[in-house]
Structure 1
Amino acid sequence: MKILKESARIKPKISLVLLDWSVRESFHFLHYLGEQTLPRDQFEVIFVEYYATISSELKVFEHQLDSWVILDMPVSSYYHKHLMYNVGLFYAKGDIIVICDSDAMVKPGFLQTIVSHFESHPSSVLHLDQFRNNRRDFYPFNYPSFEEVEGEGCINYIKGKTEGLVLADDPLHRRNYGACFCAKREDLIAIGGADEHVDFVGYICGPYDLTLRLINLGRAEVWHETEFLYHTWHPGQAGENNYLGPHDGRHLSTTSLEMLVTRATEPHVKNKAIAALQRGDEATEKELIHSETEQVTRPEFLTSADVKVHAENTYHTLVYKGFLIQKKQDQGYEVYSLLEKGLHLKARNVLPSLAEAKKSVDFNVRTKVLTCFSLCLTYLYRIKKALHNRKQKKQREQAQPIYPSTEIPQKITKREMIKKMFYRVKQLRAEVYWLNASTHSLIMNLRLLKKKPEFNHAQLLVHGRREEVIMKFLFFLRIVPAIKIKRFDTFDEMRRICAAQEEQVSILFLVSRELYFQFASGFSQSLAKSLVVL
Structure 2
Amino acid sequence: MSIRYSIIIPTYNRHQQLLLTLASFETQTYPKQHFEVIVADDGSTDGTREMVEGFQASYQFNYVSHPEQRGRSAIRNLGLQHAKGLYIIFCDADFLVLPEFISTVRRYHRKYPKAVLSGIPHSWDDAYTHYYPDFSPEEKEQFRNTVSPSSLWNPEFEIAADIIPLITPEDILHHTEALSKVVFTTKVPPDTRQQFAKTDIAPWMLLVTRCVAIRRSQLTRIGGFNEQFVLYGLEDWDLGYRLHRLKIRFRSIKEVIGYHQEHPTHLRGNVFNTDNLRIMYKQYGFNDSSLNLFALVPPSEDLEKYKETLRILRRGFRSKLTRSSAVMLRRTLRIAAKKFYYQNNPLKRQRSLFRIEKKARGRKSQVAHVLREMLVKTQKLGQ
Q: Secondary structure at the match of 1:195?
A: coil
Pairing 1:389-468 to 2, within 5 Å after superposition:
457=323, 460=326
Query: 2:277 is aligned with what amino acid?
Result: T
Pairing 1:18-417 to 2, within 5 Å after superposition:
18-27=9-18, 28-51=20-43, 54-63=48-57, 64=59, 66-73=61-68, 78-129=69-120, 130-133=124-127, 135=143, 139-142=164-167, 143=171, 145-151=178-184, 154-156=185-187, 164-166=192-194, 177-197=208-228, 200-235=229-264, 237-239=266-268, 247=273, 253-255=276-278, 258=281, 315=282, 317=283, 319=285, 324=286, 338=287
Q: Secondary structure at the match of 1:215?
A: helix
- Name the CA shift for 1:102/1:457 in 2 (closer, same or farther; >3 Å): closer
Q: How many residues align?
A: 283
- Name the CA shift for 1:175/1:217 in 2 (closer, same or farther; >3 Å): closer
Query: 2:165 is aligned with what amino acid?
Result: P
Kindly state the Cα deviation for residue 223 of structure 1 after the two structures are TM-superposed: 1.5
Q: Is the 8 A contact 1:461 1:485 kept in 2?
A: no
Q: Secondary structure at the match of 1:207?
A: helix
Kindly state the Cα deviation for residue 216 of structure 1 after the two structures are TM-superposed: 1.1
Kindly state the Cα deviation for residue 225 of structure 1 after the two structures are TM-superposed: 1.4
Kindly state the Cα deviation for residue 55 of structure 1 after the two structures are TM-superposed: 3.2
- Name the CA shift for 1:228/1:474 in 2 (closer, same or farther; >3 Å): farther
Query: 2:65 is aligned with what amino acid?
Result: I
Q: Is the 8 A contact 2:8 2:91 kept in 1?
A: yes
**Distance of 2:252 and 2:277 partners within structure 1:** 22
**Distance of 2:67 and 2:233 partners within structure 1:** 22
Q: Secondary structure at the match of 1:66?
A: strand
Kindly state the Cα deviation for residue 191 of structure 1 after the two structures are TM-superposed: 0.9
Out of 96-105 and 225-234, give the one that drifted further: 225-234
Q: Is the 8 A contact 1:26 1:141 kept in 2?
A: no
Instruction: Give unmatched runs, 5+ long, in structure 2.
Output: 128-141, 153-163, 172-176, 290-294, 314-319, 334-353, 375-383
Q: Is the 8 A contact 1:97 1:184 kept in 2?
A: yes
**Distance of 1:169 and 1:43 partners within structure 2:** 27
Q: Is the 8 A contact 1:51 1:72 kept in 2?
A: yes
**Distance of 2:252 and 2:197 partners within structure 1:** 15
- Name the CA shift for 1:119/1:462 in 2 (closer, same or farther; >3 Å): farther
CA offsets 1:148-204 (integer angstroms, 9 cap, x no match): 3444xx33488xxx76433669998x989232121000000111111011xx11223
Instruction: Give unmatched runs, 5+ long, in structure 1.
Output: 1-9, 259-314, 325-337, 342-374, 383-426, 443-453, 468-472, 490-511, 513-534
Kindly state the Cα deviation for residue 103 of structure 1 after the two structures are TM-superposed: 2.5
- Name the CA shift for 1:237/1:226 in 2 (closer, same or farther; >3 Å): farther
**Distance of 2:197 and 2:105 partners within structure 1:** 26
- Name the CA shift for 1:234/1:59 in 2 (closer, same or farther; >3 Å): farther
Corresponding residue of 2:379: none
Normalising to structure 1: TM-score of the pair?
Answer: 0.44
- Name the CA shift for 1:88/1:479 in 2 (closer, same or farther; >3 Å): same
Kindly state the Cα deviation for residue 213 of structure 1 after the two structures are TM-superposed: 1.1
Kindly state the Cα deviation for residue 42 of structure 1 after the two structures are TM-superposed: 0.9
Q: Is the 8 A contact 1:461 1:486 kept in 2?
A: no
**Distance of 1:193 and 1:210 partners within structure 2:** 7
**Distance of 1:230 and 1:163 partners within structure 2:** 20
Query: 1:39 is aligned with what amino acid?
Result: P
CA offsets 1:109-142 (integer angstroms, 9 cap, x no match): 1101111112211231111032124536585241
* Pairing 1:478–2:344 present: no
- Name the CA shift for 1:72/1:475 in 2 (closer, same or farther; >3 Å): closer
**Distance of 1:99 and 1:72 partners within structure 2:** 21
- Name the CA shift for 1:23/1:146 in 2 (closer, same or farther; >3 Å): closer
**Distance of 1:41 and 1:479 partners within structure 2:** 63
- Name the CA shift for 1:187/1:177 in 2 (closer, same or farther; >3 Å): same
Normalising to structure 2: TM-score of the pair?
Answer: 0.58
Query: 2:143 is aligned with what amino acid?
Result: R
Pairing 1:492-511 to 2, within 5 Å after superposition:
none
Q: Is the 8 A contact 1:125 1:222 kept in 2?
A: yes
Kindly state the Cα deviation for residue 482 of structure 1 after the two structures are TM-superposed: 6.9
**Distance of 2:361 and 2:191 partners within structure 1:** 38
CA offsets 1:26-54 (integer angstroms, 9 cap, x no match): 32111111111100011011111122655
- Name the CA shift for 1:150/1:487 in 2 (closer, same or farther; >3 Å): farther
Q: Secondary structure at the match of 1:19?
A: strand
Q: Secondary structure at the match of 1:46?
A: strand
- Name the CA shift for 1:170/1:486 in 2 (closer, same or farther; >3 Å): farther
